[in-house]
Structure 1
Amino acid sequence: MTDTENQSDFSVAIAGVAGRMGRQLVASALDAGLSVAGGTEAPGKGPFDRDIGELAGRRILGIRPVTDPVAAAADASVWIDFTRPEATLAALDALKHTRVSGVVIGTTGFSAAQEREIDRAAAQFAIVKAGNFSLGINLLQALTRIAAGRLGEGWDIEILETHHRRKVDAPSGTALMLGDAAAEGRGSVLDDLRSPPYDGPDSERQAGQIGFSVRRMGDVIGEHSVSFGSDMEILTLTHTALDRQVFAHGAVQAANWVKGRKPGLYGMDDVLGLAGASEAGPAEQRLNQG
């Protein structure tokens, strides 16, 4: 008997199950006792002849990857997606034809127009979207917001992030999430405070702006630092991910939390209770989260 034949009322479907993050998500969901109803992989990528439980290093589920989100989510109530912007948006459109009510999005690199598409999808789905699903990062975000507000504009803010050489978007979604928090602490939005890259003879730092630095090397999972500097001292808040499973673990927490929620756009602040979210609906809209 397969898991789909013996599933509970709550089961998840996962995008990109043959990739590194997809396998971690399947493993974390199964380890948490969730039923995995299906999974997708991009056409031409595969492998489509292997069981997704086996791919994740867990038990055989009797389910293989498919290319169609509707088929993968036919028996699921929550969709988990850590793929790429175009694939995530295509899946959201397809999921309108399923019984999925909750969505967890860890995909990063969305354009402003794509963010608006997610906003519209939140009228139908309860969506938890975050640039990073680790508990430590989300606490770092809260601390960054507090520090930016308390230290004031006389302190420079610089965000440094390091990831593995294969990461395609820069700065990372997590770095931008931290930038949003810093801007929010100063009563503004990141688009108004973000500094362009320092490059060339006329790249003097502008007071009050938030700077970003990016490094890509080796197999670094993720390192993020937010530094606040005055003429007399520097304060640096840093988070280092030691195991990719931390992101999958947080996504499974979010999947458990989002089931049965009213449609809306939520963040990990809601999942962790950092925003004082109520059962009635989403907390106040996050600023460009993701």
Structure 2
Amino acid sequence: MKILLNGALGRMGRCLADYVAAQPDCTVAAGVDRGGRPPGLPFPIYSDIKEVPQSADVLIDFSSPLCAQRAMLYCAAARLPCVICTTGLGASALHTMNFCAQEIPLFNSANMSLCVNLMQELCRMAAEVLGTGYAVDIVEKHHGAKLDAPSGTALALADAMNRGGDYSICTEAQSTVPRQEEEIVLHSLRGGNLAGEHEVQFSGQNEILRISHTAFNRDVFAVGALAAARYLIGQKPGLYNMKDLIKK
């Protein structure tokens, strides 16, 4: 399996490239990144995705919302399956995603970790059982270079718990004083080199329930991204996510 890696010189791009290099059945055919062309890489780097001459079986994207949007349009035109791992996608990028998924198989997840996606289901169940009588807080911690806050995973956790529309979702600065139990409040901490930590706390009158996940390094996201790429090849056009991969 030949991979086109978008955002190849970023933290996750480098991590994924190292992980792919250890796999006997796949390789990075080329990378795309505006950060230059450092020597010593085992694959070529292009500053513009339209410059890539190498053929590939799938694109994996760990870049920025704008670069991810360009990658999706490129893949749709080239009939190339793509895995979008970039978070913080706005309305325009999501519109592009739905459009491109009509032409190609496209995989997207706010978090590529299997355990985080299991955590979403556990939090959904907890919110359903406990109801709005428990105040809900999501605390997410990431390295200082992360561009989006709250994280895509925190927003996905909040959405999973709010499928019935009973809560309002807000940041700590937007929350009410005194606290309203119907709020899901998002707290973001940035600093150091932490790969990612998420904790959901349900606070009742006499008890507290906490559900948490910690990624000790970025390898878990690389493993998930490559699993998604393998899954996507051969699929029909459409929008796929971690639930589809887990079912398989």
Give runs of aligned pairs for residues 103-252 of structure 1, distance below 5 A. 103-184=82-163, 187-188=164-165, 193-198=168-173, 203-252=177-226
Task: Give ranges in structure 1 of 5+ residues lacking alignment.
Answer: 1-9, 54-62, 278-290
Larger CA deviation: 144-153 vs 167-176: 144-153
Task: Give ranges in structure 2 of 5+ residues lacking alignment.
Answer: none
- Distance between the aligned counterparts of 1:260 and 1:138, measured in 2? 24
Task: Output the amino acid matched with 2:134.
Answer: W
Q: CA RMSD in A?
A: 1.9
TM-score (normalised: structure 1): 0.79
- Distance between the aligned counterparts of 1:73 and 1:204, measured in 2? 59
CA shift in 2, pair 1:64/1:194, >3 Å: same
- Distance between the aligned counterparts of 2:177 and 2:53, measured in 1? 49
Give the one of 20, 24, 41 matched to 2:15: 24
Q: Does the aligned pair in 2 maintain the 1:13–1:73 contact within 8 Å?
A: no
> SS in structure 2 opposite 1:153?
helix
> SS in structure 2 opposite 1:218?
coil
> SS in structure 1 opposite 2:172?
coil
Larger CA deviation: 124-133 vs 24-33: 24-33
Aligned to 1:282: none
Give the one of 218, 227, 237 matched to 1:253: 227
> SS in structure 2 opposite 1:52?
coil
Structure whose residues are more often strand by fraction: 2
Residue 207 (structure 1) shift? 2.6
Aligned to 2:39: 50
- Distance between the aligned counterparts of 1:73 and 1:137, measured in 2? 36
- Distance between the aligned counterparts of 1:97 and 1:199, measured in 2? 41
Aligned to 2:76: 96
Q: Does the aligned pair in 1 maintain the 2:5–2:13 contact within 8 Å?
A: yes
> SS in structure 2 opposite 1:207?
coil
Residue 97 (structure 1) shift? 3.5
Residue 196 (structure 1) shift? 4.3
Deviations 1:123-158 (A, max 9, x none): 112111111111211111111111111111211211
- Distance between the aligned counterparts of 1:213 and 1:252, measured in 2? 30
TM-score (normalised: structure 2): 0.92
Deviations 1:150-198 (A, max 9, x none): 11121121100001111111000111111111112xx238xx6213433
Between Structure 1 and Structure 2, how many residues are aligned? 247
CA shift in 2, pair 1:218/1:153, >3 Å: same
CA shift in 2, pair 1:272/1:107, >3 Å: same
CA shift in 2, pair 1:71/1:109, >3 Å: same
Residue 51 (structure 1) shift? 4.6
- Distance between the aligned counterparts of 2:189 and 2:215, measured in 1? 15
Larger CA deviation: 63-72 vs 175-184: 63-72
Residue 220 (structure 1) shift? 1.2
Residue 112 (structure 1) shift? 2.3
> SS in structure 2 opposite 1:261?
coil
Q: Does the aligned pair in 1 maintain the 2:72–2:96 contact within 8 Å?
A: no
Q: What is the percentage of aligned positions where both structures have the same residue? A: 36
Give the one of 61, 64, 68 matched to 1:84: 64
Q: Does the aligned pair in 2 maintain the 1:78–1:255 contact within 8 Å?
A: yes
Task: Output the amino acid matched with 2:178.
Answer: E
Larger CA deviation: 83-92 vs 30-39: 30-39
1:267 matches 2:238: no
> SS in structure 2 opposite 1:94?
helix
- Distance between the aligned counterparts of 1:82 and 1:76, measured in 2? 17
Q: Does the aligned pair in 1 maintain the 2:170–2:183 contact within 8 Å?
A: yes
Q: Does the aligned pair in 1 maintain the 2:171–2:187 contact within 8 Å?
A: no
